[in-house]
A and B are shown apart, each in its own frame.
Chain A
Amino acid sequence: MPAEPAAHGAHAARPDEPPAGSAPASAGTEKAAPRRLAQAALRDLPWEIGVAKPDPTVVVDGVTRTFGGLTAVSVDHLEIQRGGITGLIGPNGAGKTTLFNLLTGFDQPDTGTWSFDGRSLGKLSPHQVARLGVVRTFQLTKALSRLTVLQNMLLGAQGQRGESFLRALVPGTWRRQETENTEKAMELLQRFKLDAKSDDFAGILSGGQRKLLEMARALMSDPQVVMLDEPMAGVNPALTQSLLGHVKDLREEGMTVIFVEHDMDVVRDISDWVVVMAAGRIIAEGPPESISQNKAVVDAYLGAHHDAPLTVDDEDRVLAEAEASIAREGHPDQGVISSDRPHPRRTDR
């Protein structure tokens, strides 16, 4: 639950961003083979924490967040390269999700500033961040169960006239836009192979399909930065490849992708750059191949007392264990009366 109550009023009072703020992502960025561009741009950088990127889109400075006495996140400096895929890894409780929450306005830090394309995101509420073109998905998938798959998709579209109360009463003002959005949604659903289910309730989809739906829904808003919180968690192996393909496609379309993941194979496969967090701090960053050799990373996963050099197999085993423990942790029983509530009380962030 975020800090100063005074800020809430400020949020409420702040006029909403004009929907125009979310211009199509691809505009102005080089569409041609961005993969190589991002990789090439990052190739010669030193493997240092907080290294400056040639073309940063998200910049984080001195962000800290504590819960009680525990420091959940303490990031001195971090830059995310535009048009690349940045993997965020780290052991359980490293503060990855908290960092996501801070960047997207779902949580407010104790100190620090962060910006997107030079525009400060501090003190913005989640919907304002989203309207700027930074969308996220959640670790526990948030498919809107009692809406159909198509309705889920349509919800992602920005700048809808019919979402204003008064205009909603006059269908003429929004019907054309609705038709266009529906076409776009159906195209995306086809791409994600969900078009056959467009009229089903999202609640009957499988876990993997929900992940796909959530990603597709995020794309409806034509984002510039897509933040995926464990997109592969709980997805069956058959779907994993398809999901990976979709993530790579995002990069091909010029979007910047930041994702949290535990499977090192996945991280190595698709990342252009990897950021490793432990105990709230960034302990290493560099291209994927640099990470398995990094002593700080190995120490973080095994504890500092472990001096023996690790083989790649050892490291994968450790990471797999970490992943399993995370999967155990992600019990989705929130909201049943038996469950423990610590759900955010003040959720509008």
Chain B
Amino acid sequence: MSDLLNAFAIAGKAFFGFQAIFFALLAVGLNVHFGYTGLLNFGQIAFAMVGGFGIAISVSQWGLPFWVGVLVGILAAVVLALLLGLPTLRLRADYLAIVTIAMSEGLRLVFRSVSATPVTGGTRGLSAFNGDFIALAPWDTQHRYHILGTTWSGGELWVALVGWVLVTLFSLLVWQLMRSPWGRVVKAIREDEDAVRALGKNVYAYKMQALVLGGVIGAFGGMVYAVNTGSAIPDQYQSANTFLAYAALILGGAARVLGPVIGSMILLFILQFADTGLRAMISNGVIPSELLSSTDVAQIRFVLVGIGLMLLLVFRPQGIFGDRREVMLDAR
């Protein structure tokens, strides 16, 4: 019983922790891409990576101030979006999907390669670049705080606070954009881009703007992650994370302002609960270790996400809160 409570507490922390923020920002970005504009970006994690490494490289390698690092990260995300968009946004949706996933894997491989080690730190990555930011915390970052049965370090709390402020700001931004004529054009592109062209809108430019916007939001996700962990390691940015963010987005409901945020919190809660619960059950012997060892738990969550993604797409494409009728109108 105490195990269960414990699992709840840990999962509860995941509900608000930096990982939920990370996925929320990735998914808010994907919501702009996929939910509103209909762009299939399967390389969102690459934006997070250039965001995180933008800070890491600027601060640890070039000795620049932290805030310049943030700017570098944003700039890198913009450049990446342009590079991805230029060749693919005129083509059918699946081309963007292929190129983005290839780019996210390719970039990770470049960042972890031996020849990039002088800049990115190679497979070991970079660390010690978040000091300036943590020092801004209005409370003692060394102290550990106990909140509702969970334990947070002062630094974690600070990152979480700033992270949720970011999530709120970006959600407001998306909300404002999507109720404006700009958002109307973008949503219309999702429905049928030829019709929008015939009405005199430069579809290519709008898609590019959406790609850049969502990418920059994703880059902020990567920054939050890097700053909280205090390190940036290329292998943290596996492409599976993009699909976790997709799962969060679809779970919460695509094309809804708060869908990706709520989806990420729920997803992280479920994953963490399953994780802790499974580990507890294995160590208690409830699940025989021949069947499943505790090292397998990390993989189980991906299997669960995969199954969840398939079931959601097939049976509840509108997400858990959405209105099915609206989705059924979707011809695609």
Contacts and interface: CB of A to CB of B under 8 A. Distances in A.
Contact of B180 (A11, A22, A147, A174): A174
A249 B91 CA distance: 38
Nearest to B198: A136
B194 interface: yes
B199 interface: yes
B199 A135 contact: yes
Contacts of A154: 181, 184
A168 B192 contact: no
A142 B90 CA distance: 19
A128 B203 CA distance: 11
B147 interface: no
B196 A145 contact: no
Contacts of B330: 145-146, 203
A136 B191 CA distance: 17
17 contacts: A11-B204, A104-B198, A106-B194, A106-B197, A138-B195, A144-B195, A147-B191, A155-B188, A163-B181, A163-B185, A201-B326, A201-B329, A203-B329, A345-B95, A346-B90, A347-B92, A349-B197
A162 B181 contact: yes
A169 B209 contact: no
A337 to B, nearest CB: 10
Contacts of B187: 144, 146-147, 151
B200 interface: yes
B268 to A, nearest CB: 29
A221 B181 CA distance: 15
Nearest to A181: B181
Interface of A: 8, 11-12, 16, 22, 104, 106, 125-128, 130-131, 135-138, 142-147, 151-152, 154-156, 158, 160-165, 168-169, 171, 174, 178, 201, 203-204, 214, 217-218, 220-221, 335, 343-349
B183 interface: yes
B177 interface: yes
Given A106-B194, A163-B201, A203-B330, 8 more contacts: A106-B198, A135-B198, A136-B198, A144-B187, A144-B192, A163-B181, A163-B184, A344-B92
B205 interface: yes
B62 interface: no
B91 A163 contact: no
Given A204-B329, A343-B92, A146 B191 contact: yes
Contacts of A131: 200
Nearest to A104: B198
Interface of B: 86, 89-92, 95, 173, 176-177, 180-185, 187-188, 190-205, 209, 213, 255, 326, 329-332
B203 A348 contact: yes
A348 B197 contact: yes
Given A126-B197, A138-B195, A142-B194, A168 B92 contact: no
A347 B193 contact: yes
Contacts of A152: 188
A155 B196 contact: yes
Nearest to A349: B197
Contacts of A174: 180-181
Contact of B181 (A12, A127, A160, A201): A160
A168 B205 CA distance: 15
B205 A145 contact: no
Nearest to A105: B197
Contacts of B205: 16
Contact of A16 (B173, B190, B193, B202): B202
B170 to A, nearest CB: 13
Given A130-B198, A138-B194, A146-B191, A169 B184 contact: no
Closest 8 CB pairs of A and B: A203-B329, A162-B181, A130-B200, A168-B182, A142-B195, A168-B180, A144-B191, A126-B197
Contacts of A165: 177, 182, 209, 213
A146 B199 contact: no
Contacts of B90: 8, 346-348
A31 B115 CA distance: 72
A12 B197 CA distance: 14
Contacts of B188: 144, 147, 151-152, 155
A170 to B, nearest CB: 9
Given A142-B194, A147-B187, A163-B181, A22 B200 contact: yes
Nearest to A227: B198
Contact of B329 (A106, A125, A146): A146
Listed residue (A152, A165, A221, A345) with the most chain B CB atoms within 10 angstroms of its CB: A165
B215 to A, nearest CB: 14
Contacts of A204: 329
B6 to A, nearest CB: 44
A347 B92 CA distance: 7
A213 B91 CA distance: 28
Contacts of B199: 127, 130, 135, 155-156, 217-218, 220-221
B85 to A, nearest CB: 10
Contact of A168 (B181, B195, B197): B181
A126 B195 CA distance: 10
A130 B184 CA distance: 18
Contact of B92 (A151, A162, A345): A345
B173 A169 contact: yes
